[in-house]
Amino acid sequence: MTSLRTAAHAGITPSLATGQRCVHDPRLTYALWPPLTAGCPGCSNEQIAYPLEVTYDYAAIDAGMREALFDRTAIPLDVRGWGPLLPPFDARLGPGVGSTPLIDGLEGLGEGVQVLVKDESRNPTWSHKDRLNLMTISAAAASGAPGVVVASSGNHGASAAAMSARLDLPCVVVMSSDGPPLMAHFAGAYGATVLSVRRDARWQVVRDIVDKLGFHPVSNRTVTHTGHPFGPEGYKTIAYELFIQLGHRLPSAVFIPTGYGELLYGVWKGFEELRILDLVDSVPALYACEVAGRGVLKAAIEQDQPAVTIDEASTTDAFSIATTTGGYRATHVMHRTAGSVLGVTDTEMAMSQRTLAAKGIWQELSGVAGVAGLQQTLRRGATFDGPVVCLATSSGLKDVRTGVHQPIETGPDWSSISGELRRRGIPGT
């Protein structure tokens, strides 16, 4: 029985996962173990690497299991509630992962549209990456690897560090030496070994650590992005949760901060599975919101390529999605959705960040790329015939400009205080 076989690893949740399959050519299938972390061996070449995904025995989901999983009025307490539709994972990593609130009543975000924000900063390391790493770090441990290695600008590395620590797995985080110091501190806080290396040397250092030490890589190590085959499976739970949180309905559109496209792919696959399971009859329009000055997905679509790498790129503070290497997962989704690719500028993201914070939700600049994308489409006159969801991926505490300046002292006499309050538009002053 599938669920017994994949549950054979101690402490791991029963799963209906059956194997791995190429996202590009589904005829190329592989066993579930070991996770193939260097892309599809059957069709990748020197220009393009194709990613793998996990397959499931959907037929084993009978009416009772489908009811237990989806016919609920509230989302489960965390992602452990979706075990059968995920790769096997270590339940110790699950507490508080996912099941993030979907926040309504945000009138200022879009005229005439019901905008809902899914706040992923409520995860264990305060970003959506915990959903992905629940899968990848469990896979590393179940593979018997002596450690984990990850190249990351921040959230992915810190999340991997935290989850590796929980399982007593050594973790090496390879960061670019020109990256945000906060993020190096963040990953290092969990006891990970943070290596600060030249930006262009990161991938070689990861490959060396994989090849020479046998560490399990949980970030990408191929020519175009493929990443870990189990990772995006964790993001599917966002689609499941949205379905429950919207009262067993679909949003009309979802706006998604996009770098390599793993989040985009995972959310799309989650909705696809709802369709496969006959719970819905379509998939919402997905909008991939990437940094305008990078635009690897836009370039791939325009050039009709599976993925592209760009050489030159403008600077951006949206470091968490500021990739110059695209991946096939993202183009795969964009060819299958009614949505589109949107390039958002730092200025647009900063505006959306302020607008959202003024509603009580403070996000990292990259974290509001989805909100910025929505606001851009609305300025262009887009309309939506139902609720629109923006994924907000990470806490504003992580931004590069956070907490740099000491504020100027005021007062304490009332005339200076009231003058300052008046200047700030406080009523009654």
CA nearest to 263, candidates 109, 376, 382, 366? 366
3 state DSSP class of 254 = strand
CB of 104 to its own copies, least distance (A): 8
Q: Is 333 left (phi over 0), alpha (psi -120 to 50) or beta?
A: alpha
Radius of gyration of the chain (CA): 22
Q: Is 397 left (phi over 0), alpha (psi -120 to 50) or beta?
A: alpha
Residue 44 CA to residue 47 CA, distance in Å, equals 8
Residue 6 CA to residue 134 CA, distance in Å, equals 16
CB of 407 to its own copies, least distance (A): 4
Per-residue tokens: 172: 């090496």
251 residue type, one letter: P
Select 33 or 190, whichever has its Cβ closest to its own copies: 190
Residue 17 CA to residue 20 CA, distance in Å, equals 9
How many C-beta neighbours within 10 Å does residue 137 have? 32
Per-residue tokens: 16: 């209906």
CB of 183 to its own copies, least distance (A): 8
Per-residue tokens: 213: 């030490």
Per-residue tokens: 305: 């390529």
CB of 220 to its own copies, least distance (A): 17
Select 308 or 365, whichever has its Cβ closest to its own copies: 365
CB of 341 to its own copies, least distance (A): 29
Select 62 or 409, whichever has its Cβ closest to its own copies: 409
CB of 306 to its own copies, least distance (A): 29
CB of 125 to its own copies, least distance (A): 8
3 state DSSP class of 342 = strand
CA nearest to 339, candidates 281, 258, 276? 258
CA nearest to 326, candidates 102, 68, 48? 48
Select 81 or 227, whichever has its Cβ closest to its own copies: 81
Select 48 or 173, whichever has its Cβ closest to its own copies: 173
Residue 96, Cβ density class (10 Å: 0-12 exposed, 13-18 middle, ≥19 buried): middle
**Contact between residue 297 and residue 288 where contact means Cβ atoms under 8 Å apart:** yes
What residues are paired with 256 via a beta bridge? Answer: 288
Select 48 or 242, whichever has its Cβ closest to its own copies: 242
CB of 241 to its own copies, least distance (A): 11
Instruction: Kindly give, in sequence order, each residue whose CB lies less than 8 Å from that of residue 223, ignoring residues fewer than 6 positions away.
Output: 44, 46, 47, 48, 49, 309
CB of 73 to its own copies, least distance (A): 10
What residues are paired with 292 via a beta bridge? Answer: none
Per-residue tokens: 72: 């609920």
Select 8 or 426, whichever has its Cβ closest to its own copies: 426
Select 59 or 74, whichever has its Cβ closest to its own copies: 74
CB of 198 to its own copies, least distance (A): 6
- Torsion (CA) 285, 295, 228, 123 in degrees, nearest 10: -70
CB of 243 to its own copies, least distance (A): 16
Residue 372 CA to residue 367 CA, distance in Å, equals 10
